[in-house]
């Protein structure tokens, strides 16, 4: 592999890893009880709506949950404890994002496994194609083409 | 590696097979049935105090020792209106039994709208407001009507989502009465 190619692939790898790390890095900057409650409200599904978060719904239930979230964050409950309260009441379906354990882990792991398999498959295919000798036109081939073009 | 394509296919098959096994073992055979059962069943009833339309105060403590059916409803919901004849029949059957309580809790409605409706319909059981939907939240309700059976010992022993028939209500009551 040439030095230039190594640089290109290395740069690409850094870009991909950097993007993934940036995307996966916890973005929560919520520190006050109100901002934590607001962020939790975006994670919970409104129980009597079709596909809205508690933050986006104006139903009575959503309003009650928003008030409850604020009360709990002010009382010092952690985000994990609050999520668990709602899972205990409604089940995992109350979470808009699947959990990263149990069955929910599959949702996160499967795409990574699929990507890894695809990458391995491509690497194997490229290696196989590289091993195949390039076809070169022989003098006989050139003559055949010349005759065909001359008509 | 002699046959990379075969190995790749085997890898995919292993992943898909593992996924199928996990799904088969962890997901309920009838997800809808799981959704029809409250997570509260088997747990102690949330502590509550409510004020009825006629000025009484009822609480989880004052109702201890009785079999209680808590019905979340509102006056504008059609399924609640469809359920009303069953509730009336059930209430009439147990009107003389002080050990049985039917308690209607307003869910997403106002007393101003529900009181005249209740009077017009001749609702005889206790009806109470739920300011801030606190009780509705504590029970983990998803809509209305929903009915919960509470044993004399304060255990939630059954739930019914949607309009309950008299038979459903009797089943809930029997479950409540069969628990200490």
Q: Is the pLDDT of residue B32 over 50?
A: no
The CA-CA-CA angle for residues A21, A24, A25, to 5°, reads 80
Residue A52 φ/ψ, nearest 5 degrees: -110, 150
- For range B41-50, the mean pLDDT: 94
Min Cα distance B97 → chain A (Å) is: 32
- For range B43-70, the mean pLDDT: 95
Q: Is the pLDDT of residue B77 over 60?
A: yes
Residues B70 and B41: their CA atoms lie apart, in Å, by 13
* Contact between B22 and A91 using a beta-carbon 8 Å cutoff: no
Q: What is the DSSP code (8-state) at residue B106?
A: E
The distance between the two most distant Cα atoms of chain B, rounded to a whole number of Å, is 84
> Complex ipTM, two decimals?
0.73
Q: What is the CATH number of the domain that holds B44?
A: 3.40.30.10
* Contact between B4 and A128 using a beta-carbon 8 Å cutoff: yes
* Contact between A90 and B39 using a beta-carbon 8 Å cutoff: yes
Q: Who wins on pLDDT, A98 or B27?
A: A98
The pLDDT tens digits for B121-130 are: 999 999 999 9
Same domain, yes or no, for B98 and B140?
yes
Instruction: List the single range of A46-50, A98-102, B17-21 with lowest mean pLDDT.
Output: A98-102
Confidence of residue B31 (pLDDT cuts 50, 70, 90): very low
pLDDT confidence of residue A72: 96
Same domain, yes or no, for B65 and B17?
no
- For range B121-142, the mean pLDDT: 93
The pLDDT tens digits for A22-74 are: 876 765 566 899 999 999 999 999 988 878 999 999 988 999 999 999 999 99
Among candidates A61, A88, A102 on the partner chain, residue whose Cβ is nearest the Cβ of B39: A88
CA distances from A78 to A10, A65, A71 (A): 41, 16, 12
Burial category of B163 from C-beta neighbours within 10 Å (exposed 0-12, middle 13-18, buried 19 and up): buried
Same domain, yes or no, for B60 and B141?
yes
Confidence of residue A106 (pLDDT cuts 50, 70, 90): confident
Q: Is the pLDDT of residue A130 over 90?
A: no
Min Cα distance A111 → chain B (Å) is: 11
Residue range(s) defining the domain that contains residue B149: 36-178
Mean pLDDT (chain B, rounded): 89
Residues A81 and A76: their CA atoms lie apart, in Å, by 10
Same domain, yes or no, for B24 and B93?
no
Instruction: List the single range of A94-108, B16-30, B73-87, B123-137 with lowest mean pLDDT.
Output: B16-30
Q: Is the pLDDT of residue A126 over 80?
A: yes
Same domain, yes or no, for B118 and B169?
yes
Among candidates B27, B35, B108 on the partner chain, residue whose Cβ is nearest the Cβ of A60: B108
Same domain, yes or no, for B109 and B67?
yes
Find residue B126's DSSP bridge partners.
Answer: B103
pLDDT confidence of residue A50: 76
Min Cα distance A151 → chain B (Å) is: 45
Residues B67 and B79: their CA atoms lie apart, in Å, by 24
- Percent share of chain B, pLDDT over 90: 74
Same domain, yes or no, for B77 and B140?
yes
As for how many domains chain B has, the answer is 2
Same domain, yes or no, for B165 and B106?
yes
A124 to chain B: closest CA residue: B4
Among candidates B27, B137, B142 on the partner chain, residue whose Cβ is nearest the Cβ of A65: B137
Q: Who wins on pLDDT, A59 or A2?
A: A59
Same domain, yes or no, for B171 and B89?
yes
- For range B54-81, the mean pLDDT: 95
Q: Is the pLDDT of residue B60 over 90?
A: yes
Min Cα distance A36 → chain B (Å) is: 20
Q: Is B149 helix (H, G, I), strand (E, B) or coil?
A: strand
Q: Is the pLDDT of residue B18 over 80?
A: no
Same domain, yes or no, for B42 and B118?
yes
Among candidates A64, A93, A106 on the partner chain, residue whose Cβ is nearest the Cβ of B132: A64
Same domain, yes or no, for B15 and B60?
no
pLDDT confidence of residue A71: 95
* Contact between B8 and A103 using a beta-carbon 8 Å cutoff: no
What is the pTM for the complete model shown?
0.70
Confidence of residue A116 (pLDDT cuts 50, 70, 90): confident
Same domain, yes or no, for B137 and B115?
yes
Residues A127 and B101: their CA atoms lie apart, in Å, by 76
């Amino acid at each position: 592999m040439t030095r230039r190619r190594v640089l290109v692939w290395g740069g690409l790898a850094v870009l991909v890893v950097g993007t993934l790390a940036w995307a996966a890095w916890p973005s929560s900057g919520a520190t006050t009880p109100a901002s934590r409650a607001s962020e939790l409200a975006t994670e919970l599904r409104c129980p009597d709506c079709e596909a809205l978060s508690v933050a986006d719904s104006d139903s009575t239930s959503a309003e009650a949950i928003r008030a409850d979230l604020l009360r709990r964050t002010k009382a010092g409950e952690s985000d994990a404890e609050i999520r668990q309260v709602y899972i205990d009441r409604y089940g995992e379906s109350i979470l808009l994002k699947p959990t990263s354990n149990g069955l929910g882990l599959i949702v996160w792991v499967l795409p990574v496994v699929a990507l890894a398999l695809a990458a391995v498959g491509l690497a194997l295919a490229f290696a196989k194609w590289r091993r195949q000798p390039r076809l070169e036109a022989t003098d006989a081939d050139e003559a055949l083409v010349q005759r065909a073009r001359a008509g | 590696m002699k046959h990379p394509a075969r190995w790749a296919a085997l890898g995919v098959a292993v992943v898909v097979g593992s996924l199928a096994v996990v799904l088969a073992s962890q997901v309920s055979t009838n997800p809808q049935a799981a959704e029809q059962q409250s997570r509260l069943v088997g747990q102690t009833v949330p502590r509550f105090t409510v004020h009825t339309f006629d000025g009484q105060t009822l609480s989880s403590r004052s109702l201890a020792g009785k079999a209680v059916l808590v019905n979340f409803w509102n006056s504008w919901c059609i399924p609640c209106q469809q359920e009303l004849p069953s509730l009336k029949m059930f209430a009439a059957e147990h009107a003389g039994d002080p050990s049985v309580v039917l308690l209607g809790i307003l869910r997403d409605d106002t007393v101003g709208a529900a009181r005249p409706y209740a009077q017009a319909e001749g609702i005889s059981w206790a009806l109470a407001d739920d300011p801030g939907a606190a009780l509705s939240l504590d029970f983990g309700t998803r809509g209305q009507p929903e009915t919960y059976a509470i044993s004399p010992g304060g255990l939630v022993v059954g739930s019914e989502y949607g309009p309950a028939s008299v038979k459903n209500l009797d089943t809930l009551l029997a479950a409540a009465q069969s628990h200490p």
